[in-house]
Amino acid sequence: MTAAVFVDRDGVMNELVPRPVTGDLESPLDPNHVVLMPGVAAALQRLRAAGYAIVQVSNQPAAALGDARIEQIEAVQARFLEVLDSVGAALDTYRFCLHHPDGVASGLARFYECRNRLRGCSSTLRRSWTSTCAHPG
């Protein structure tokens, strides 16, 4: 098995954008707003050169909260993948959670195990990759 690095997307690999109503920084909801953070391409290339698989895990609650359609979230992800590919920093795979306990969208308005990146989305991925998960605190 290949060792893997699990990486969040928003605010880690790509820039956050202001939420229209509040100005709070959040995930981009428009593919045209996808911008890599400085140094991300080089860091992912170094990880790949060192033999690691690169796995993205991310919470994407905008559809659950009624701020976006699932198609928008998928379009942003597709653009993010295109940008990574264009700089030679492709991912091996990704998973994101669309749920949120305070959501308003039917089927997405709940806490779901995938919401916890260390237990949920990444637990199914860890079965495929040798990994060590750690978190601060």
Domains and CATH numbers, the chain: 4-99+112-126 (3.40.50.1000)
Residue 57's Cβ-count burial label (10 Å; 0-12, 13-18, 19+) is buried
Cα–Cα distances (Å) from 110 to 37, 61, 98, in that order, read 31, 10, 10
Q: What is the residue-averaged pLDDT of the chain? A: 80
Condensed to tens digits (0 to 9), the pLDDT of residues 26-78 reads 999 999 999 999 999 999 999 999 999 998 888 887 777 778 888 898 999 99
Please indicate whether residue 123 or residue 105 has the higher confidence score (pLDDT).
105
For 61, other C-beta atoms within 10 Å of its C-beta total 24
Most confident of the ranges 74-88, 101-115, 122-136? 74-88
The pLDDT of residue 121: 44
Best-predicted range by mean pLDDT (33-37, 115-119, 130-134): 33-37
